[in-house]
Amino acid sequence: MTVCVSLFGDSTETLAARLKVLAASRRVAELRLDRIDPRVDLDALAAARGGLQIILACVPRSQGGAWTAGEAAWEARILEAVQAFAPACLIDVPPEFERPAALDPEIPVVWSWHEAAESPETDLTTIRQQLAQRQRPGDYCKIVAWADRHEQAMRALRLLQQEDSGRLVAFAQGPGSRTARLWALALGSAWSYACWRGEATAPGQWSEHELPERKNWQDLDLHGVFGDPIEHSRSPELWMTAFRAEQVLARCRQEAAPRPAHYARVQHARLEDFRLDYAAPAFRAFSVTTPLKEQALAVADEASPLAQQVGAANFLRRLDDGRWRAEQTDGAGALAALTEQGLPESAPILLIGAGGAARGVAAEVLRRGRRLGVAARRPDAARAMLADLAERGLQGARDATVHALDASELWTKVRGGSAELGIVQATPLGSVERPGDPLPAQQFDPGCWVLDMIYHPPETALLARAREAGATTVRGHRMLLAQMLEQYRLHRGQEAPAGALGCVLEAALGLASPPILLTGPRASGKSTLGRLLAEVLDWPFLDADAELERRHGQAIRDWLPRDPQGFRAAEAALLEELSLRPACVVALGGGIVETPAALTLLAGHPRVLGLRIRPETELARRGGADERPALTDRPLAEEIRELHERRFPLYEKACSGRWIDVEGMKADSFHRLLQRLKLLL
């Protein structure tokens, strides 16, 4: 299974250059002869392709291509190209044409069929049977479905789940095909197609730079988030960060890496064919959002007691025996986000809304025995929700109070004498798509903790008004993170690095995302651990010392002894610049804290972490091959002790006490670093 990059154009030089680039990292490329100028020198392209196997395609209009000259001219064009590229080539034959009689029988054929956008929902099993009748040993069959929606794309992937020949290429094109194109590789498609950047040959195609080559696509576990709409979801950033952390930690520990995993946005309008579409073991787990939570519960083989009581699920995970289990983490995520911001666990909860998003929160509040009030635009809908929860066995549902959104003294009625009140806004009102404020008649006070489940925009009109009134506000992305952490624990059996995920989520939402600055003595691992952290976060890494040397054209070991004041001034100026660069990891020089202006800047920066080691550890790590310049005329051991005594109070001030103990094994230090990132949120 591999990625085939499709090329076309009018320039021999450009196409030859691209083939040379692909030959360094790819195994297969396609030349779209129907979109390549006949004057292009095919022999020159053959000479440039290196070890690439070439698929020669000349696609007629009936199959979505540009060829209009008929079968005889098509055959001549194909045979001309085969002469240049044989024997390491295949030819793509559309359904209305035949295998050229003059073609070397050793050249494999790809029997190709594309579904028209005007007539989707063709029986693809019948098409597969028809193509198989033309297939010789060594040939391939290619079936490309049309997909306006993801459900239509899954028809092609069903073929892959039913066949293990290695000779089938099946995927989809169209607006709803993008995710299925990648999944096809993991499910056994002999290849899938990508394009050169900005030059798609079919709708939904990935660009070549987005799909790095893998040794084995079939070892990829598939995950995603279902919903409609779904483009706003930030779940992929969270899960992919957690998966990268697994790989990096395993590498540090020199352990066998877990199976690689991928997580995608999946726009599903319905789940009625879930069991058929997601039968393959490669499908591992899916988060579920609006409007599919009730359907998710219905398609599962079993469900957690809470999901059964709620009547909806927001997570589907495959068990070891292959069955699907439905889980419900919405309510736990909402309450965890409020508790993290200081709401006492005894405080009553006022829930705004009575739809699917509200049910999970209401059930979790009742399950924990907390006082619950529900305010809704339609109070009858709130009563019906509570009655249904009561019938499902949730104690306290009949005691919950129901209110109109504009009810007078709403806070007092729900508080029941409590000084604190948690408010959870669980309606779509306030989102980018539906701007507004569901509680315009209510006035907040400092005893309110207000969570809005919406996270696009990050601060809704409701939260802005609550913040101005002195209430504690909790943005929706904190609930998203909290419920994802619970899903990850259920699925992987371990905790995800919450701090790393939070940093990535804030950056993805366009919130303030200052760099993470690592400070500490020499040999504390700032560069080593910084690079690992940047890999997990998928952020750039910058070594401040290396950047100074690059910009000024001087090695620090020469510069610092000769001009210490000039060096420290340049170092402080660089820090001022880097401290404003968003979403990156920076390893700072050990002596930067001795510059007063730099120390003041670091002390006021929200994301500085200090790496702490003992003097004996620094001495052991530096050994005899250390190239760092001496800072005193004393022996190294004495110099290190003196610097530790002088600088550690400065490091303490710079990192505001946010220390990471980096004694011992690298893997242990990095794990502690990931855990401590939560201090930065």
Q: Which are the catalytic amino acids? A: 293
Orientation angle between helical segments 498-508 and 666-676, nearest 10 degrees: 50
Vertex 234 angle, CA 231 and 238, to 5°? 145
**N-term to C-term CA, the chain:** 41
Query: Tokens standing for 20?
Result: 């040379």
DSSP 208: G
> How many Å apart are CA 247 and CA 253, to the nearest integer?
10
> How many Å apart are CA 425 and CA 440, to the nearest integer?
13
Q: Which of 111, 33, 112, 29 is nearest to 69 (CA)?
A: 33
Contact 314, 330 (CB under 8 A): yes
SS (H, E, C) 335-349: HHHHHHCCCCCCCCE
> How many Å apart are CA 472 and CA 5, to the nearest integer?
52
Contact 201, 207 (CB under 8 A): no
Cβ-based neighbours of 329, under 8 Å, separated by 6 or more = 314, 315, 360, 483, 486, 487, 490
Give the burial string for 214-239 (b: 16+ CB within 10 Å, else e): eeebeebbbbbbbbeebeebbbbbbb
DSSP 381: H
Distance, C-alpha 261 to centroid of its chain:
10
Cβ atoms within 10 Å of 414's Cβ, excluding its own: 24
> How many Å apart are CA 271 and CA 333, to the nearest integer?
24
